[in-house]
Amino acid sequence: MQDTVIWDRVREARKGPRPAHTLDDIARAAISVGDANGVEAVSIRAVAAQLGAGAASLYRYISRKDDLYDLMVDSVAAEYELPSVPSGEWEADVVLVARRIRDVYRRHPWMAELAPHASWGPNTQDYMEFFLAALEPTGLGHVERIEFIGLMSAWIATFTQLVQQPAATGAGRLRHFASIAADPARPQLAQAIVALMRADPSSSSPDQLFERGLHRLIHGIAG
Amino acid sequence: MQDTVIWDRVREARKGPRPAHTLDDIARAAISVGDANGVEAVSIRAVAAQLGAGAASLYRYISRKDDLYDLMVDSVAAEYELPSVPSGEWEADVVLVARRIRDVYRRHPWMAELAPHASWGPNTQDYMEFFLAALEPTGLGHVERIEFIGLMSAWIATFTQLVQQPAATGAGRLRHFASIAADPARPQLAQAIVALMRADPSSSSPDQLFERGLHRLIHGIAG
DNA sequence: CTTTACTGAGAACATCGTTCGCGGTAAAGT
DNA sequence: ACTTTACCGCGAACGATGTTCTCAGTAAAG
């Protein structure tokens, strides 16, 4: 079973010593490493060390490094804490879900990178089930609803990285932005960067930007 | 200058032998490797080999591996081949740009992964300048327009991976999907997966799905 | 013709994901 | 009771990676 998704693993030990850790333990360890030092620090060895285990031991529980990512994403998906049943007001539900996702992405910045590629674990499935049901009153088909869910997640991910944490772009990036802003050959882009750079003293806090972006996502760019 | 974006590099050799390659050569080599074997195959050594050079030699031209990605993305951004001036019909322009991006992502699947993280090279800047100008008639502010551009790119990326190339998800993933579809605990999700799986015999080809998704992106989910 | 500044690139280093194989342990088979 | 079986943790090793060091070669500047 080398190409099996981790959720299909059947784990029922009959003989030998009982495993020293659970998948939840491993997920927690990986999450704490990711929160503290970023995704790129989430290595097999680092997570194993966090668990107080040897590196090779992890392969008793997972079969690929991607399984680690899957565990992290689905474990954190439990933090959405959505109601079990939609309210019936689909727009309010969409706003609710969006805000929860934003909060979680802010708490765990690596989600923006890992979530799109992750397989669908139980918590993720619960979240999608809720979202699909919430979108039922729109009259959209299932494929369209899935698409919208992906669209909204992708938007929140890029929004989090672009607006919420622009300082993460590094010194060289900032210098490059400045040179673009000073280039008269592309006036629209120059203006846009100037508008992006100043941390919105007047018209728009990040939260306001988020709400308005969300409104545009629902009602369209012209609405 | 270790943290400098590659586009800020000043390259004007005064002494010694002239460089054996150009940044364009390197970009082309990296692109051909990525097209043929996927992003994960784009290694320093592989690109150097494609160039007929030694691995360490690449560091005479780039200073980080990410520079390679930046080169790839911006080089391919030239393929958009947009008009120099928007038509004045912003919606038509948006549709035009979206289709061009989709075509390029289809030709170079790694773009979906690399483009979001890449720095803005000259061709990317040209593309954004056009897009920003095209969106001017909407009355949106510059930040909102940037956001919409990011949103559309993100949507196309996920759409390309989800709808256009679902076979890339691997055997284990497909098996997992099937088990989700057979789980009565989450009926909405089950239906959605069934709808996703069958390659749209009746109502919707990928192209139609794209056009309708694009329409919803512009006019909102309810429109 | 010496100096200088750049070139390409082999060798080496640290780190990574992953596999092999070992000694140990506890339940199943007899 | 004891052998067998199937799992456990994990040190050691392998191959591949990004990056740096170093050095011989080369061509323009002084």
For the CA of A72 and the C1' of C26, the distance in angstroms is 31
Residues B22 and B10 sit within 8 Å (Cβ to Cβ): no
Architecture of domain A6-76: Orthogonal Bundle (1.10)
> Which ranges of chain B would DSSP assign to H, the alpha helix?
23-37, 44-51, 65-77, 90-107, 111-114, 122-134, 142-159, 170-181, 187-197, 206-219
How is residue A85 written in tokens? Answer: 């049943």
Interface test with A, best of B143, B200, B202 (most A CBs within 10 A): B143
How is residue B113 written in tokens? Answer: 């992964």
Q: Do B8 and A176 touch (CB under 8 A)?
A: yes
- Distances from the Cα of A134 to the Cα of A139, B15, B19, B183, angstroms: 11, 67, 60, 19
The domains of chain A are located at 6-76, 78-166, 167-223
pLDDT in tens, B60-110: 999 999 999 999 999 999 999 999 999 999 999 999 999 999 999 999 999
Query: Could you say which of B176, B192, B221 has the minimum Cβ distance to residue A146?
Result: B192
pLDDT in tens, A143-178: 889 889 988 998 898 888 776 665 567 788 889 999
Positions of chain A with pLDDT lower than 50, given as ranges: none
User: Chain A: nearest CA to B52, how far in angstroms?
Assistant: 30
A222 close contact with B: CB closer than 8 A: yes
* Partners of residue A195 in chain B, C-beta under 8 Å: 141-143
Q: Which of B192, B161, B158, B159 is nearest to A125 (CA)?
A: B192
Q: Is A136 exposed, middle or buried (0-12, 13-18, 19+ CB in 10 A)?
A: middle
pLDDT in tens, A46-70: 999 999 999 999 999 999 999 999 9
Residues B47 and B29 sit within 8 Å (Cβ to Cβ): yes
Q: Do A176 and B120 touch (CB under 8 A)?
A: yes
List, in order, residues 6 or more apart from A51 with CB less than 8 Å away: A21, A25, A26, A29, A58
Burial track B179-204 (b if 16+ CB lie within 10 A, e otherwise): ebbeeeebebbbebbebbeeeeeeeb
| Mean pLDDT of all residues in B37-56 | 97
| Topology at the third CATH level for domain A78-166 | Tetracycline Repressor; domain 2 (1.10.357)
pLDDT above 70 (res B187): yes
